[in-house]
Amino acid sequence: MDVRGRKNIDWIDGLKAFAILAILLNHSVESFRFFPWFSSPTQWPPFSERIHSIFPSSGNLLSDIVIFLGWLGDMGPGIFIILSGLTLTLSALNRKRETLDFYRQRALRIYPLYITIHIIILIFAEFIFRWNINLSSFRTLFSLAGLRFTDSLFFYINPSWWFIWLILQMYLLFPLLFRLLEKKGRMTFLIVTLAITLLSRLAGVLDLTYSASFYHWMTGIFGGTRLFEFTAGMLAGSLIYENNLNFSSFLTNKTKLFFISLCIYIFGFLSSLTRAGSVYSGILISLGLAGIFYSLYFLLCPSGGPVRKAVTWLGKNSFSVFLLHQPFMMYASSILQKETLVIALIFITCASFIAGYAIEKAVNAGTPVILNYLEKIKKYLGIRIPVYLIFILIIILSILSFIHPFIKNDSKLLLYSVRIIQLLIPCTIFLFRDKQGFRTDSLLSRWFDTVFAVTVVYLVLTPNWIPIYWLILAAGFILVFITRKMKYLISMGLTFLLILTAVLVSEKYLRRNKPLEVLQWGEMPALQPDEQTGYSLIPSRETRLKYNNYDYILRTNSLGLASPEISPGKDPGEFRIFTIGDAFTMPEGMEYGSAYPSILENDLRTSCPETKINVVNGGVTGYGPNEFLAQMEKYLDTIRPNLVINQFFVNEFQEINLELNSRNSMIGFNLKRSPRRYYFGNAQIPVHYMRTFQKIFEYEDKSYKYNKSLLHLYEKDSYLYSDTVLAKIDRYFDRINELCGEKNCKLLIMFVPAQIVVSDPVFISYFPSSVDLADTTVFSTTKPGRIIRQMCVSKQIPFMDVTDTLKNHRPQPVYFTESWHWNQEGHKVMAGVLSDTIKKMIYCMDNENLNNFK
């Protein structure tokens, strides 16, 4: 079979047709919410359940067969991966191309149609589907560029577009793979690429991946998991090009090929039913399916007949249909049901081919015209203009980077501007970096290459890296200038190595010696998810917590409480106190011996030697009413306290509205699922730089200081004092009061104010100088305490507001100057006032009159 110089082999379009029909059937079936576990193995049920769930059981055999075939259609993209490798290899063997020319040609093949359909879908999503998509968001920009390298991006807007990201990875690797095939031979080529694929898929099986989704990983969020399917197509392309007799003979007997392929497919499918088998099953399924489709094409589509013409037409238009159809199916499934949905899906399928054909024709006709006009503009303006444009973009981005520390962190306009320019810079350099523009070995070209690489890296970093962009560029220019007389590769390699080393060493130093809380709590090393309380302290652990202005050791007992061990039983006459609260009680910033529960216990034991007294500390940083209640339900039967002291911070009005997912995100538990956020978003360098920069220029971030001061909690008209929130607080007090009654223990509520209403501004580093807290038209420093007092009095719950006690105490301060919490002096004050109150209770243990709590 001589294919030299031929532009097309019709069976390639035949295989594309079968693949796109399988995918369409799969998406149609999924529109009815029929999802097989083996097609999306995020979770693996017991093996017996897996076997039982392979074939659907709706009760209608015909319907079950259609659903099952639809499930199998999820494997159709593997055909496109194989054919992509095959056609690219045939093209490369017929016509040698420079690497840059190859990338440009592939970009022009993919992007015009993809971006056009992407924009069409966005318009429908905004105005027809009414989907909640931010058109100017960071994720939408990456989606337009085809970059879907994170779990949140992979299926964003249109799940089918994951394939664009996978195929871009393959395009990027193709020149290297093609040279490997040519220089090392087929056997080495197969062994190397198969090894990479198996190791990549094994990493998914062993959960050694940056993606939290097993399905995303195996599908192609990392191209290594699908590499061999692509290189198998490359190998087939080289064999076809050379008219390899053995391969041609193998393809000739279609019936034999069909049964061999079917066996490979079945073995691959059965292997996919086990997690270990999924290491290689995807390869076998795609190869087997390719052989099945190849055989069926020749067996079912006679040469020259109308069936073959129709099938090849479907295949030629498969790419546009693949990009277009799924959002419309998703929308139809959200508003229609059963028979109506079936009709709608058939209509969408047919319409997708017609619309896709028209769109692709229009794009193919319009792209050369646009490129021609761009070329004319380029010649008219002169080739130097793009160089100036690059300079202008770099300068603008550097300025935005420089002023970033003085802009609100939530400035969307700034972020969008930066991201757009970050996309434009590498694109502009890539398009205009040629021999006519600037020499490969010139200082300018080396610096532009540095800018290109730095900007691309910055695109995948989180926004908090933006402020030091201009510093990295400046360092790059200096290093390129110093190494300008070296060879290109040595100069560039040394530049990137030194920058990378400086960043890694600086980051490691700051994380170890001067860590700040960035995107996660400083206490996170001592915390764990907890099914009962949401999260808790890790039991039997000694953890050094060093962050911000804190450096202390947190020790926990076997129950996971920041308290000494307690005996499982309770002695007769023993008086136990259970303190629950947040960071004030844990305590945050100092060791347990200096905390009020410990001081309180020692004082009570000294004052009441005839009574055995134990104070069990249940304080956990960040806990609010929801966690307090869950903690009491978890521990009351074990601790069996006589008295529960609920330290109630003013921010509980806010905390009671917080959902568990939001809490986990704040703590940083989800950082483990996002290496991008963990390694880059949690970086220390940008934050230290911003704070130092702001200090040098004496810049006051009013918004940051206002929020940290918790002034929003003292606004008279705050939504936090709405009926809805107050009803939640009221129900909370009802529940814990009822729970204490059930467990035969007393309850004391201790209300704790924010430092802003206690300390002189000189003792508050984050005091917002522009705010007048005495303005009673805006603020009320007594409102939160009054509300809690009224609720407690109405329920006959003993109540203590420590605001005046803290405010009038000398010496000051009683809070840390750089954070919310009590310092050692503050804990002494609290221990003293609690001790006086509890002594009265101990001396009147038989008196049920709650008025003893004053």
Other C-beta atoms closer than 10 Å to the C-beta of 204 total 24
Phi, psi of 76 (to 5 degrees): -60, -35
DSSP state of 149: -
The pLDDT score that the predictor gives to residue 611 is: 83
Residue 534 lies in a domain: no
**813 and 727 share a domain?**
yes
**What proportions of the chain, in percent to the nearest 5, are helix, strand and coil?**
65, 5, 30
Looking at the fold, whether 639 and 776 belong to one and the same domain comes out as yes
Q: Is 751 helix (H, G, I), strand (E, B) or coil?
A: strand
Q: How many domains does the chain have?
A: 4
pLDDT for 663: 85
Q: What is the pLDDT of residues 172-191, one digit of tens each?
A: 999 999 999 999 999 999 99
Which residues are within 8 A (CB) of 13 and not within 5 positions of it... i.e. 6 or more apart? 311, 312, 313, 314, 315, 316, 318
pLDDT at residue 381 tops 60: no
| Region 471-482 average pLDDT | 91
pLDDT recorded at residue 439: 58
Residue 526: inside a domain, yes or no? no
pLDDT of amino acid 155: 92
Is the confidence at residue 571, as pLDDT, over 60? yes
Same domain for 51 and 25: yes
Q: Rounded to an integer, what distance in angstroms lies between the CA atom of residue 15 and that of residue 7?
A: 16
Residue 557's pLDDT is 93
431: in domain? yes
In whole angstroms, give the CA distance from residue 489 to residue 741: 76
Comparison of pLDDT for 698 and 242, the residue scoring more? 242
Domain final residue pick, 359, 381, 403: 381
828: domain CATH number is 3.40.50.1110
User: Of 326, 353, 381, which marks where a domain is finished?
Assistant: 381
pLDDT digits (tens, 9 = 90+) for 24-77: 999 999 888 777 766 656 667 777 777 777 888 767 788 888 888 988 988 999
Average per-residue pLDDT for the chain: 87
Burial status of residue 672 (CB atoms within 10 A of its CB: 0-12, 13-18, 19 or more): exposed
Whether residues 808 and 764 share a domain: the answer is yes
Strands (E), 401-449: none
| Residue 382: pLDDT over 60 | no
CB within 8 Å of 580: residues ≥ 6 apart: 618, 619, 623, 628, 631, 632, 644, 645, 646, 647
Judged against a pLDDT cut of 90, whether residue 770 lies above it is answered with no
Indicate the burial class of 59 (C-beta count within 10 angstroms; 0-12, 13-18, 19 or more). Answer: exposed
| Of the ranges 132-146, 206-220, 474-488, 639-653, the best mean pLDDT one | 639-653
What does the pLDDT read at residue 85? 96
**Six-digit token string for 350:** 């047919």
615 with 761, same domain: the answer is yes
pLDDT exceeds 60 at position 852: no
Q: Residue 278 and residue 53: Cα distance in Å, rounded?
A: 17
pTM of the model: 0.59
Answer yes or no: do 413 and 340 share one domain: no
pLDDT of residue 410: 52
Of 444, 450, 461, the residue nearest 494 (C-alpha): 450
pLDDT per residue as tens digits for the range 595-629: 999 999 999 999 888 888 999 999 999 999 999 99
**Residue 565 belongs to a domain:** yes
Structural domain including 509 reads 382-513
Are 388 and 454 in a shared domain? Answer: yes
Of the residues 215, 242, 269, which one is the last residue of a structural domain?
242
Same domain, 47 and 83: no
Mean pLDDT to the nearest integer, 214-229: 94
Segment 135-146 shows an average pLDDT of 80
Quick one: pLDDT band at residue 676, thresholds 50, 70, 90?
A: low
Region 654-673: mean pLDDT is: 81
The candidate with the shortest Cα–Cα distance to 547, out of 519, 591, 512, 594, is: 512
Among 110-119, 353-362, 431-440, 745-754, name the one with the lowest average pLDDT: 431-440
Q: What's the confidence (pLDDT) of residue 411?
A: 62
Q: How far apart are CA 347 and CA 359, in angstroms?
A: 18
Long-range contacts at 431-436 (CB < 8 A, ≥ 24 apart): 431/386, 432/383, 432/386, 432/387, 432/390, 436/383
Query: Considering the chain, what percentage of its residues have pLDDT values greater than 70?
Result: 92
Task: Report pLDDT for 4.
Answer: 41
* pLDDT given at position 758: 93
Q: Same structural domain for residues 48 and 114?
A: no
Residue 780 shares a structural domain with residue 819 = yes
- Same domain? 443 vs 487: yes
**What confidence tens digit (pLDDT) does each residue in 794-826 have?**
999 999 999 999 999 999 999 999 988 999 999
Q: Which of 260-274, 276-290, 672-686 is least confident?
A: 672-686
CA 109 – CA 164 distance, rounded (Å):
12
- State the distance between the two ends of the chain, measured CA to CA, in whole angstroms: 99
Longest dimension (CA), the chain: 105
Q: Does residue 567 sit in helix, strand or coil? A: coil
Could you tell me if 347 and 388 lie in one domain?
A: no
Q: What is the pLDDT of residue 435?
A: 45
Check residue 380 and give its pLDDT: 60
- Would 523 be classed as within a structural domain? no
Check whether 366 has a pLDDT greater than 70.
Answer: yes
Does 765 map to a domain? yes
Tens digits of residue pLDDT in 709-731 = 999 899 988 888 888 899 999 99
Q: Which of 79-83, 146-150, 209-213 has the highest mean pLDDT?
A: 79-83
| Residue 27 included in any domain | yes
**Is residue 697 in a domain?**
no
Kindly tell me if the per-residue pLDDT of 222 is higher than 50: yes
